[in-house]
Every structure is written in structure tokens, then in C-alpha cells.
A and B are shown apart, each in its own frame.
Chain A
Amino acid sequence: MTHVLDPGTLAAGTRPGPGPAAPFDDVTRSDAALRAFLHGLPGVDQVGAEQRAATLGTRSIKTTAKAWAIDTAIAMVDLTTLEGADTPGRVRSLAAKARRPDPDDPSCPAVAAVCVYGDLAGVAREALAGTGIHVAAVATAFPSGRASRAVKLADVRDAVGNGADEIDMVIDRGAFLSGRYLEVFEEIVAVKEACGDAHLKVILETGELVTYDNARRASWLAMLAGADFIKTSTGKISPAATLPVCLVMLEAVRDFRAATGTQVGVKPAGGIRTTKDAVKHLVLVNETVGADWLSPDWFRLGASSLLNDLLQQRQKLRTGHYSGPDHVSVD
């Protein structure tokens, strides 16, 4: 990193209460300081980022490398159902799929987590007991984030109380876009506190942030506030996860670790439907932040239909002929 900020120029000293770790403990002392810091981040070269993502997307991953990539991607999937029509039965069947994605093949890995609305976290927790598969719940008035802070925090506590060990929160895009960065920061800090031991994923909803510069700023803001993961989108807005946005966020977590020593995970979500898309993301991770992030602990794919495509590709590699949607479950 170091091109972002020279740690030596910052005032040392600790700040009472929750706040960013050194060397960034000073940048959240006021709205103006935070704005100065975020706007001081180097601008994203839009053409360069898009070109870099496109180039990496052309890498040819075949045979054994493809088999590895498919299994790795399956293990990184946050199997998601976020519909108004969700029922406990649907969540239980999704949990069964999460444990054994391909019932015909015991060598197929389980997914990383099941992602549901907070009220169904208890059902998912019960169905996944003893498996090591995480239960992620969306909270803070997902997907819009338009509710008062008290409601959002109650939402988080409720989801954690129901058994979620990962919380996917949305930032207040309205506040972010109108420049009230400290407000967004304080909200993330408060949610983090409400999470307790649960991991916090912060959804930036990059489709509403308009520019890559904003995606970079929001990434830094979330990491400064203590996010364990930064996530591209809710999946309710298009465009959702795109390769260039993922690249910008990966660069942000790389620079953040170089500066602070703290590693933060990345989760692209929404719009990743095919094995090809998933493999492109893995290539992007490997080339941008390296193998340290190529694990379900640090990189996740938020998806629902992706898993079926991964399983069909896996069956194709195993049997030598093309599989079809009749050979995977209907969710």
C-alpha cells in the first residue's frame, strides 16, 4: 500500500472507544477529517480497472485446475434465499442442499454458509447444527437500509439472538452519497458492537454508489469501522457484482492489510450465475491479493443459482458428458 497514506505523517496516540486501528486512528476524529481522508484516496483509473478485469477474465482454466476451481468455488458459496415468500420449509431444504450439494457424490464439498432473513436464522441454525456451515442473516433494514438506527440495531440483535453467526448489513447509501461519512462510520461501528461475536459483512451496494471512486471510499470506510468482510451488493439492484468493482474492493483490502496488518474478506454477491463467472472471480482474487484470500474464510460468493451451474459443470468433468438441470435440485 503506502501510496494511500504515509503512516508516519499521522498523529500517533490512541483514541478512546471503538475506532480504527493505527495508523488510521486519527482519521475519524471528525466528519471533515474522514472526508479529507476518503477523498484523499487515489482515484480509480476506470478504464484501467475495467481492462485489467477483462484481461484476467480471459484466462483459460481447464482440466485439473478447473476441477479445483469448481470445488473451491462451491466451498465459498453463501447459499442465499432472500425472498418475501421464504418459508421455514424452504430454508430447511436449502440447508440440506448446503450440507450435501450433490447427493450423488460424497466428494463434493459443502458450501460456506446459508444466507437468510433474520427471522429464519433460527431455522437455518437448527438445520445446520454440527456441520460447521455458517448461518448468515441480512439485517439493518435490508435491502434499502432505510430505517432508524434503533430499528437497525434491534434487527441485528434479533438475528444474532436467532442464531446467526454472520450478519450482512447494508450501509446507509443516502448518507454516504450526501457526504455524511462519519454517520455511516458510526452506524457500522454500532452494528459491529451489536453483533457481538458474529462476523460482520458490510454491503456497500456498489450499484447505487455510481463510481469506482465511491466503491473504494466505501470499502475503506467499512474497513476502518471494523468490518470483517466487505460485500458488493444486496442482489436486489442491478448492476450487482461486476468484476471491476470486485477488483477495486480487492485492492482496498490488500492495501488495508499492508497498512494495518488486519485482513478483511470480500464477498461479491448478485449476478454471478455461471461457473465461468465464478472462476473469473477466483482468478481476480489470486492475481490481486494472492492465495491468502483463496479460502472461504476470506472470500465468499453470494449466490443462489450459481451453485446449480457449478454442480452441473462438476458432473460434466466427472462423467465426461454434459449434464442438465434435471440432475440438480430445483430451489
Chain B
Amino acid sequence: MSDRLAVRKTYKLYVNGAFPRSESGRTYEVADARGAFLANAAWASRKDARDAVVAARAAFGRWSRATAYNRGQVLYRVAEVMEGRHAQFCEEVAAGEGLSSGRARAVVDAAIDRWVWYAGWTDKLAAVLGSANPVAGPFFDFSLPEPTGVVAVLAPQRSSLLGLVSVLAPVLAGGNTAVVVTSHRRPLPAVTLGEVLATSDVPGGVVNLLTGDAGEIGPWLAEHDDVDAVDLTGAPADRALELERLAAGSIKRVLRPPAEEPDWTADPGTSRMTRFLETKTVWHPKGV
């Protein structure tokens, strides 16, 4: 070994396309699966969540109005940049989740493939979920899926990359913007994903990544009047019901947490995308 000094890393949040420190100034130590120090991560506060929601709301117009084709291209570009950081992701997943290097490589491959899979869905959603409806009247009647809006995502606690991609990509594919609270103990792949998003073509504010405690920030996001939907996948098991009750105050879409964290390698299906889509139906009088 060389006698070079170690560069100890202190990561920051990813909000509105920039990397700010937490407003609170707090950080916490991230350890690997065996308890050895890995890096310092920012510990987001409720005010960081508030700023992230403002950014996500501001970004919603542009992202939701982009053509589905363009959204697909942008998401595919994210997968390309992830591929370039493959080794870094492998290292972080292996350290954080305690996997062998072979298993970690398989997880990262699956995460990138998952991203590509969702990128392909953007311009197919309207065809699959939309319809021309037969109605009893002289109307041309059709339905189209539209994004719900700003989605707060409590990312899975155990699967720090594949789980994160599996909850984030479906939200983005539909045209929503996201505020994500990452895995508390294993935030590093999310931090790297933030660096990937910043260097791909995703507009600032479309994805906001907060490293911190879902139990602390979750209630503020669930209650926030300007958040349209909340995904409770990574919520602490004993808090999920309370979060759902808080979300009812502003009539949010709520995706309930599974009883146990699922096997993320399984076929994801379309349910996560459809959960954060609204159906718009247009009745058009047939003239002439």
C-alpha cells in the first residue's frame, strides 16, 4: 500500500439539479455491511424536503409536457451513463449490501436493464392504457393517461440500487417528478445515481434525492399539500398506517408498502406506473 492519505468523502443531497448540503448542516456516517466506515452522507431535514418539493413542482410542467418519445430518450440516456459508472455502482452495492462482487455485478446489471425497460415504456403507455370508448351518443370519446404530479417516494431500505431504480423509474416514465428519500443505512448508490442524473439530460428538479431518515421526513412529505402522491415502499413498518392517514388530509394517491420488501429481480409489471397515472377522458361532439 502507498502511504497516501485517504480521501474521506462527505456526500451531499441532490435537489433541483444541484448538490446542496442539508439546510440543517447535519451529516451521518455510512458504514458497510460489516460496520466499517464508508463515507459521510448528508442527513436531510424537513426543510430540505420542502425545497425539494418546490423544485419538483417547478420541474413538473416541462417534464410532463415533454413528448413521451423525448422522455424515453432521456431515460435511456440515464441508463447509458449508469453503464459508464458500472464499476462504482458494483463497489458501492457490494459494500453496502454485503454482496459478493459477482452478485453485486448481477444486481447492477439488473438495475440498468430495469431502467432501460421503463425507458421503453414511456411512449407505449398511452397506447396500452388509453382507449377510444364506445359511448351511447354522438360523441368521439377517448381516454388518455396523464401523470399525477409530484410524487414523494420512500425508497426501499434494503435494496439500495435495484430497489431504488424499481420505484423511481416508473414514476418518471409516466411524466411525474419525484422527491425520493433514499435508504437510510445504504444511501451511497443513490448518491451516485444523483451524479448520474446530473450528468445525463434529466432536467434539474425532476428527481430530487434526499439521504436521510424516512421516518423523520416521511410525515412532512405525506402531509404536504403540494405533493400529489406518495409511495410508502420504504416506510418504517410501524409508521405506514400513520403516514397513510396523514396523506388522506390532502387526498393523495398512496402506494401502500408491501408486508415484506419484495424480490426486486422479479418481473415488475406495469402496476407501479399505472399507480401514478390519472385517466383523462375527453368527450368530443361529432360535428359536420
Contacts and interface: CB of A to CB of B under 8 A. Distances in A.
B80 interface: no
A326 B249 CA distance: 14
Interface in A182-207: none
A15 interface: no
Chain B contact residues: over half helix, strand or loop, or mixed? helix
Nearest to A325: B226
Contacts of A318: none
Interface string B47-59: 0001001000100
A320 B226 CA distance: 14
A324 interface: yes
Contacts of B142: none
Contacts of A324: 53, 57, 224-227
A3 interface: no
A329 to B, nearest CB: 15
A29 B31 CA distance: 78
Nearest to A323: B225
A322 B50 contact: yes
A326 B224 contact: no
Contacts, number: 27
A321 B224 CA distance: 6
A52 interface: no
B224 A322 contact: yes
Nearest to B222: A321
A324 B249 CA distance: 13
B220 A321 contact: yes
Interface string A45-59: 000000000000000
Contacts of B249: 321
Contacts of B223: 320-322
A325 B250 CA distance: 13
A322 B57 contact: no
A325 B225 CA distance: 8
A294 to B, nearest CB: 27
A323 B246 CA distance: 14
Contacts of A326: 225-226
Most buried by B among A320, A321, A325: A321
Nearest to B225: A324
Contacts of B227: 324
Interface string A79-115: 0000000000000000000000000000000000000
Contacts of A322: 50, 53, 220, 223-226
Interface string A302-327: 00000000000000000011111111
A321 B57 CA distance: 17
A327 B225 CA distance: 8
A103 to B, nearest CB: 16
Interface string A242-271: 000000000000000000000000000000
Contacts of A320: 223
Contacts of B57: 324-325
B74 to A, nearest CB: 26
Contacts of A321: 220, 223-225, 246, 249
Interface of B: 50, 53, 57, 220, 223-227, 246, 249
8 closest Cβ pairs, A-B complex: A324-B226, A321-B223, A324-B225, A322-B224, A323-B225, A327-B225, A322-B50, A322-B225
Interface of A: 320-327
Given A322-B53, A322-B224, 7 more contacts: A321-B220, A321-B223, A321-B224, A321-B225, A323-B225, A324-B226, A326-B225
5 contacts: A321-B220, A322-B50, A324-B226, A325-B226, A326-B226
